[in-house]
């Protein structure tokens, strides 16, 4: 992630929409709502990330890079296994495959951890409805494949 939510909001307040839309921050958001739930100011960060993605598409700044795709795959794997996300595990798995990015983001991650904003990775059991969660994921994947196939026919 190029910028933290705090840096994104500072850039937006400073009128630097172009800088924000050029970054990969919105595309790296997994929409887990963890930051929204934990925000002491009650800012709906996930909703803002959705809007930044929409603006990026509208103005041609779409860059769902391979890094964003890797993040999405890891998120799906974790939620398929446990039925919920663990942000610390997500970031650890993501950075294991992106060593250069890990070095640039290590300071931010450590600050977040020591401020209690990154939980210790849990090794607990999956949620009770984990099989239902897997079925939902599989159904969504099939629907997405069907949608893409229909778009290819056009």
Domain boundary among 63, 78, 93: 63
Domain boundary among 47, 63, 79: 63
Percentage of the chain exceeding pLDDT 90 = 19
Percentage of the chain exceeding pLDDT 70 = 94
**Mean pLDDT of the 45-52 span:** 90
Using pLDDT thresholds of 50, 70 and 90, give the confidence band for residue 122. low
- Please tell me the predicted confidence (pLDDT) of residue 44: 92
Same domain for 27 and 93?
no
Task: Tell whether the model's pLDDT for residue 64 goes beyond 60.
Answer: no
Domain boundary among 63, 82, 117: 63
Tokens of 112: 């977040």
Task: Tell whether the model's pLDDT for residue 121 goes beyond 80.
Answer: no
Q: Is the dihedral of CA 112, 30, 72, 6 positive or negative?
A: negative
Same domain for 69 and 128?
yes
Same domain for 28 and 70?
no
In total, how many domains does the chain have? 2
- Please tell me the predicted confidence (pLDDT) of residue 65: 62
Structural domain range at position 47? 1-63
SS3 content of the chain, % helix, strand, coil (to 5): 70, 0, 30
H-helix or E-strand spanning residue 78: helix 66-82
Same domain for 46 and 58?
yes
Q: How many CA atoms lie within 13 A of 111 on its CB side?
A: 5
Q: How far apart are CA 117 and CA 130, in angstroms?
A: 25
């Amino acid at each position: 992630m190029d910028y933290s939510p705090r840096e994104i909001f500072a850039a937006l307040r400073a009128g630097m929409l172009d800088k924000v839309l050029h970054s990969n921050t919105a595309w790296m958001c997994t929409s887990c709502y963890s930051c929204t739930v934990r925000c002491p100011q009650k800012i709906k960060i996930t909703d803002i990330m959705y809007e930044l993605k929409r603006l990026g598409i509208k103005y041609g700044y779409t860059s769902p890079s391979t890094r964003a795709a890797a993040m999405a795959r890891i998120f799906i794997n974790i939620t398929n296994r446990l039925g919920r996300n663990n942000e610390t595990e997500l970031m650890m798995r993501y950075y294991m495959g992106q060593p250069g990015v890990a070095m640039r983001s290590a300071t931010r991650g450590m600050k977040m951890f020591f401020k209690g904003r990154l939980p210790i990775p849990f090794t607990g059991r999956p949620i009770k409805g984990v099989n239902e969660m897997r079925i939902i994921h599989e159904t969504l994947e099939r629907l997405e494949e069907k949608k893409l196939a229909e778009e290819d026919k056009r």
